[in-house]
Structures are given as structure tokens and as C-alpha cells.
């Protein structure tokens, strides 16, 4: 079967200068293909004109900002490789499956792709004869999914690392141990792929992957992609015993209402160097409108406790949320001054397909100014994403001004910047 070739493709994404993380979903799918006996390759296109190798199957992943280029890419693939099976998957088509008709792909896959890909690989000749969208079946036992095919990636091109203090940087590998998020933030569209039911890999499976990374690659830095790493504290405590044994350093994302001083001390002693919190705002009105399920008090408490125990705290801030006014922006500025983050990220509200705001902006008092998805970037060059919305009290220009004001403040109180 190794004479059969599948090429996984990441379309260009022009908003970012540096590559921080690899195309994680494609590494997982490549692992599935290799397990099935196929010769797999991963290609990240810098431009739509970048070379694409010949293959029996070309499989493209696409976020919403990449979608306009993905449509053009499908036409190019159809012209250059008319005999290959051409597939598209990823967040955008999972949210807007009807957009498949805009493309020249043979097959669309929504949701999780591993089980669907297994079936496609086993029956690709027959599938070529039909043009359809397949709804991917969620993986119930995540231990069944092969480890990501990291050997197909030149890891040194990615700039992600773990800050150890005073600009010392430990190179980091991307890892994930769960799928699904039970929370209902109205700006988030990621649940269109993994859903709301949270599923976990076994601790043994997670540790086996980490040991493989250490043995094969020599990396001891790990960047956890789980939406809420501390969702299950007892599980984290068991994992931390293994992290200490492996002598690793790591960073993770979590919610402010999942931490206390005890769990923070445990993860610090197990190598945690940074936590990224979705603070979003220091206005309770805005947090309520976003349906975050958290409070300003919890925001401040989590940031202060994290810094107190010696873990670096990163604050993710959104400007332009439903109900945003200059008064709520000033509340966020006050909160940032009260507890300056070690790192930060200021993004503009961007109603991606799949989110509640995208589906019904009027309900949230949001006016969507453009549906040109190529303009959809929450964070872009020089930290500045493109503003695609207005609130009832803030114009596009107001939001741009507020964003720039918050960025200037963060640069003043936390010069380390983004991480």
C-alpha cells in the first residue's frame, strides 16, 4: 500500500509573520494514514502558487479566514491533478457545510476526521465516483487515535517555546490530551469540530506520547492545546506525578474558575511555567454578555494567585464584545493595571462561522460589517487584528482605537508582550 500517496495541505494564512505552531490536525490525520499503510506527506503552503506534490489523495484543512484561498486551491488542484481524490475538512466546512458547493473538491468532511479518513482510505476508488459531504464520527476512545506524525514536520521552523524567565526559551512541542468543551462562550466556533462532550485520553497514553517525543526528538518542553487543561483536577494531579518523573516544562490554557492555590502549587512543582487565561474583559457586563460563566473577581484572583505561586500568567483580552462601550474598556484597563499579566494577547471580537454571534448577530447587538472571511483575523501583524464588527455604542473606528489603547497599555505594564 505504500505506493499509495496522500498529501495533506495547509492553505496559506497571511496574517502572521512567524510560524508558532505546526498544523496539528494534519499530523493526527497523517498518523491515521500511515497506520493504514499509506505514504503521507504534509505541505504548508506559503502562497497559492507554492509547489504541491503529486498524490493519489490531496486532503486540505481550512479555517474560516483561509476559506477564500481554499476555494481557489481546490480549483488549482482540480486542474493540476484531475485524477486525484480531493478532500476538504476543518473548522469552516464543519460550520458551513453548504459552502462545499463553492469548491471543486470531490469530498467534504465535517467534524472529526480520523474515522472518516479510515473509511476513505479503504474505499477511495469508489468514493471518487460521488461528490458529497461526509459527517465525521466522533472518536469515543481517544487512545485509539495514532500519535501525531511529527516526523513529517521540520520542527525547528516553529517558534513556540516555554519562557523560563529572563528571555530563556525552551523549545516546545504541541500536545493535546482531550477533545470537546462543555462551556458556551458565544464568540467560540471551535465546538463545530469536537462538540461539547469532553473526552480524555488515558494518562498512560498521554505519558507514552510524551516519552516518545523525548526519546525521538529530545524535546522537554510541551505546549498543551487543551481548551481547559485544569478541567479535571484529580486527573491533573495524577499527570503531574508523571511530569515530575519525566522532568519536563510546559504551558497550558485554563479557565479562571478552575484554579486555586493548591492546584497551582502542584502544577508549578511539576514544571508548569505559564498559564493562558481567557480573561476577555474586566467588565462583568461583558463577561455576562459573552456567557463566559466567570466573574471579574475570579479573573483577578486567578491572575494574582498564578503570579503568587511563581507561574507566569498570560491574559487573553477581547475588545468589541457585545455591549462594549468606552466605560467597559476602561474597566478592562483598570483590571489590567491592578494585576499586570506577564504575557498578553489583545484580540478583536471576530464572529467566526459556528459561533452564536455569527448565527444571530442582532441578538447580541453586533453589526457584522463584512462577510469577506479573508478579513477575519482576531490577532494579526503588530498584534492588530482586523475589525469586522461594530457594537451598539462603538463604531469600527472606536473599536480600533480601543484595541490600540489596550495594546499600548499592555506594552507599558507588561513589556514581555505576547507568548
The DSSP secondary structure of 281-335, one letter per residue, reads: -S-HHHHHHTT----HHHHHHHHHHHHHHT-EEEEEEEES-TT--HHHHHHHHHH
Phi, psi of 362 (to 5 degrees): -60, -35
**Residue range 90-112: mean pLDDT, rounded:** 96
Contact between 410 and 346 under an 8 Å Cβ cutoff? The reply is: yes
| Phi and psi based region of residue 6 (left: phi greater than 0; alpha: psi -120 to 50; beta: remaining) | beta
Class of the CATH-defined domain 160-413: alpha beta
pLDDT-derived band at 392, boundaries 50, 70, 90? very high
Alpha carbon dihedral 97, 98, 103, 104, in 10-degree steps, equals 80
Domains of the chain, residue spans? 5-142, 160-413
Contact between 179 and 142 under an 8 Å Cβ cutoff? The reply is: yes
130 vs 280, residue with greater confidence: 280
Pairing of strands 168-175, 221-224: parallel
Per-residue model confidence (pLDDT) at position 249: 97
Per-residue model confidence (pLDDT) at position 255: 95
Count of alpha carbons within 13 angstroms of residue 407, beta-carbon side: 17
Question: How many residues are recorded in the chain?
Answer: 419
What is d(CA 148, CA 174) in angstroms, rounded to the nearest whole number? 10
pLDDT tops 60 at residue 166: yes
Burial class (CB in 10 A: 0-12, 13-18, 19+), 399: buried
Angle, helices 114-122/24-35, rounded to nearest 10 degrees: 40
What is d(CA 326, CA 397) in angstroms, rounded to the nearest whole number? 12
Angle, helices 203-217/233-246, rounded to nearest 10 degrees: 30
Q: Which residues of 50-85 are buried (b: 16+ CB within 10 A; e: fewer)?
A: eebeebbbbbbbbbbbbbbbbbebbeebbeebeebb
What is d(CA 229, CA 224) in angstroms, rounded to the nearest whole number? 8
Per-residue model confidence (pLDDT) at position 174: 92
Class of the CATH-defined domain 5-142: alpha beta
The per-residue pLDDT for range 117-137, each reduced to its tens digit, is: 999 999 877 777 788 999 999
**Residue range 289-313: mean pLDDT, rounded:** 97
pTM for the whole structure: 0.93
pLDDT tops 60 at residue 68: yes
Alpha carbon dihedral 227, 233, 236, 237, in 10-degree steps, equals 160
What is d(CA 348, CA 74) in angstroms, rounded to the nearest whole number? 30
Contact between 220 and 170 under an 8 Å Cβ cutoff? The reply is: yes
Contact between 74 and 103 under an 8 Å Cβ cutoff? The reply is: yes
Per-residue model confidence (pLDDT) at position 295: 97
What is d(CA 153, CA 43) in angstroms, rounded to the nearest whole number? 9
Average pLDDT, the chain: 92
pLDDT tops 80 at residue 18: no
Per-residue model confidence (pLDDT) at position 287: 97
164 vs 125, residue with greater confidence: 164
What Rg do the C-alpha atoms of the chain give, in angstroms? 21
Per-residue model confidence (pLDDT) at position 165: 74
Per-residue model confidence (pLDDT) at position 123: 87
Per-residue model confidence (pLDDT) at position 16: 58
Residues 6+ apart with CB under 8 A from 415: none
pLDDT tops 90 at residue 90: yes
Q: Which residues of 202-217 are buried (b: 16+ CB within 10 A; e: fewer)?
A: eeebbbebbeebbeee
The per-residue pLDDT for range 212-235, each reduced to its tens digit, is: 999 999 999 999 999 889 999 999
**Residue range 273-294: mean pLDDT, rounded:** 96
Amino acid at each position: 500500500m505504500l505506493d499509495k500517496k496522500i498529501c495533506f495541505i495547509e492553505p496559506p494564512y497571511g496574517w502572521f509573520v512567524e510560524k508558532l505552531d505546526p498544523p496539528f490536525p494534519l499530523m493526527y490525520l497523517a498518523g491515521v494514514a500511515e497506520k493504514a499503510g499509506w505514504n503521507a506527506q504534509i505541505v504548508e503552503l506559503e502562497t497559492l502558487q507554492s509547489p504541491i506534490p503529486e498524490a493519489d489523495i490531496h486532503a486540505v484543512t481550512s479555517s474560516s479566514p483561509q476559506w477564500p484561498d481554499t476555494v481557489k486551491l481546490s480549483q488549482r488542484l482540480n486542474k493540476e491533478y484531475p485524477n486525484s481524490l480531493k478532500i476538504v475538512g476543518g473548522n469552516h466546512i464543519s460550520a458551513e457545510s453548504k459552502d462545499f458547493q463553492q469548491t471543486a473538491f470531490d469530498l467534504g468532511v465535517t467534524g472529526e476526521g480520523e474515522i472518516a479518513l479510515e473509511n476513505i482510505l479503504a474505499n477511495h476508488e469508489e468514493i471518487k465516483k460521488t461528490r458529497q459531504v461526509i459527517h465525521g464520527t466522533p472518536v469515543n476512545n481517544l487512545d485509539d487515535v495514532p500519535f501525531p506524525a511529527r516526523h513529517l514536520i521540520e520542527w525547528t521552523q516553529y517558534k513556540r517555546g516555554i519562557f523560563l524567565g529572563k528571555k530563556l526559551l525552551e523549545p516546545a512541542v504541541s500536545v493535546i490530551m482531550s477533545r470537546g468543551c462543555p462551556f458556551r462562550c458565544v464568540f467560540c466556533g471551535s465546538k463545530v469540530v469536537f462538540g461539547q462532550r469532553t473526552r480524555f485520553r488515558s494518562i498512560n497514553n498521554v505519558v507514552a506520547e510524551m516519552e516518545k517525543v523525548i526519546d525521538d526528538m529530545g524535546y522537554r518542553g510541551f505546549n498543551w492545546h487543551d481548551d481547559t487543561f485544569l478541567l479535571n483536577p484529580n486527573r491533573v494531579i495524577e499527570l503531574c506525578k508523571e511530569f515530575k518523573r519525566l522532568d519536563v516544562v510546559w504551558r497550558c490554557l485554563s479557565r479562571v474558575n478552575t484554579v486555586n492555590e493548591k492546584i497551582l502549587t502542584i502544577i508549578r512543582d511539576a514544571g508548569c511555567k505559564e498559564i493562558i487565561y481567557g480573561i476577555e474583559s474586566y467588565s462583568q457586563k461583558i463577561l455576562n454578555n459573552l456567557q463566559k460563566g466567570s466573574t471579574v473577581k475570579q479573573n483577578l484572583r486567578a491572575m494574582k494567585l498564578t503570579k503568587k505561586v511563581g507561574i507566569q500568567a498570560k491574559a487573553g483580552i477581547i475588545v468589541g464584545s457585545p455591549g462594549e462601550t468606552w466605560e467597559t474598556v476602561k474597566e478592562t484597563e483598570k483590571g489590567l493595571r491592578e494585576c499586570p499579566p506577564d504575557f498578553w494577547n489583545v484580540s478583536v471580537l471576530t464572529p467566526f462561522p459556528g459561533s452564536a454571534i455569527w448565527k444571530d448577530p442582532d441578538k447580541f447587538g453586533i453589526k457584522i460589517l463584512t462577510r469577506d472571511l479573508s478579513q477575519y483575523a482576531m490577532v494579526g501583524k503588530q498584534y492588530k487584528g482586523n475589525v469586522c464588527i461594530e457594537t451598539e455604542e462603538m463604531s469600527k473606528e472606536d473599536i480600533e482605537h480601543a484595541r490600540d489603547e489596550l495594546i499600548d497599555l499592555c506594552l507599558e505594564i507588561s513589556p514581555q508582550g505576547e507568548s
